[in-house]
Amino acid sequence: MVYIRQDKLPKLKEYKYSGVDHSLVSRYVLKPFYTNIVIKCFPMWMAPNLITTIGFSFVVTNFLTLLWYTPTLDQDCPTWVYASWSIGLFLYQTFDAVDGSQARRTHQSGPLGELFDHGVDACNTTLEVLIFAAAMNFGQSWKTVLTLFASLLTFYVQTWDEYHTHTLTLGIISGPVEGLLTLCIVYALTAINGGGSFWQQSLLATVGIPHYSFIPSFIYDLAWNEWYLVYGGIVLVFNTIQSSQNVIEARRGRGQRARRALLGLVPFFTTWTLIPMYLWLQPIILEQHLVPFAFFAGLINAYSVGQMIVAHLTKSRYPYYNVLLLPLFYGVFDSLGPVLQHFGEKVVGGDLGRFLGWPSALGDGVYQVAFVFCCLGLAVGVYGSFVVDVITSICDYLDIWCLTIKHPYVEPTEEKEKKGN
């Protein structure tokens, strides 16, 4: 399948990166650190995308230790595991931030860099959600699903914002900056406090606040990890509203209707209507096989985000269709039949009640588990073919390589003479 039409390829040469970062932490702490120290550690021959790939390998290593020590996301790990998660994520954030500086430094900036960077970030989002869930001892539960929803929505909305405004906007508090730093701190504190069980204690009781009569019990008993969900929910709402305002203002400034742009959020919320429905109908997947299903959900989002980025780079129409939703639709349809059938027999009764539903082809046992792994395999195949085809198309058209520098920048003679003088 061809993901970039030939007549859209010339638009790649019109690409120009535009980004705004309002984060105070980024401006006064991280950027000076990257510019004055980190960037000097990378040689001029190293391609920016190679830096991104190496950074992502730290997160992959973290995830492999998770699978070894806590595959169910609810067991305490050795202290060094949590420490390695903190270090690995910080290195990922650093490498992911420096690749842009390396691109400008080596004069390799281009559309492939943005696509590659966003694609890696999309994959990292799901991995980091599972690692965070393991650090908090969420287990295979609705808390993990809720965390996945919030993280994927943040990434989707940010990319949707960039498509319509043509500018990557990071707010005062953003996922790539404060969000990742918060996770690094959480992992480090988990190591210091001896494991994820610490976060299941009441926050207010742990810090020594008495249970005053005006504090409701359900608030006083909220655990650390539950307070984090509250905090994350507030930030999520704030960022989503901010991105929506950015899009509405940009569309109106160009004399376009904002309502049409808001329809771009429909694919995401369609997906996240089906996901909780399927997990509610199939508790065996939620409670025993959530990790592979989370990967499947993450790849659905990564594919949608990837299509958005390609449309942004080639100035194409907004992508509303995602083929990976089809197996999810089927899973919900197949699982819903027996529920409706049972409802019909109990409430309606008679022949009409029996015909209200339909029997499940997959059942609720081993075939349902096999279905989830088949969905995951399909998602890997579809997203993998998308990544390979798009990277190959861009590299061939722009005459560049992905992980190495094909045409090193040669400084003009006049500039060399000026520097010599």
Residue positions annotated with a catalytic role: 118
Among candidates 184, 186, 198, 189, which has minimal Cα distance to 76?
198
d(CA 262, CA 266): 8
d(CA 166, CA 169): 9
Among candidates 296, 304, 357, 298, which has minimal Cα distance to 328?
296
d(CA 116, CA 178): 22
212: left (phi over 0), alpha (psi -120 to 50) or beta: beta
Residue carrying structure tokens 């204690």: 201
User: Where are the alpha helices (H) located in 1-141, listed in sequence order?
Assistant: 24-25, 31-36, 48-69, 79-105, 111-135
Contact assessment for residue 192 and residue 91, using Cβ atoms and an 8 Å cutoff: no
Among candidates 22, 34, 1, 4, which has minimal Cα distance to 307?
4
Contact assessment for residue 74 and residue 11, using Cβ atoms and an 8 Å cutoff: no
Contact assessment for residue 50 and residue 404, using Cβ atoms and an 8 Å cutoff: yes
Among candidates 119, 21, 12, which has minimal Cα distance to 386?
119
Q: Cα angle vertex 154, ends 222, 227, to 5°?
A: 10
d(CA 24, CA 26): 5
Count CA within 13 A, CB hemisphere, residue 151. 28
d(CA 12, CA 82): 42
Contact assessment for residue 330 and residue 322, using Cβ atoms and an 8 Å cutoff: no
Among candidates 5, 12, 1, 7, which has minimal Cα distance to 394?
12
Residue carrying structure tokens 């694609």: 119
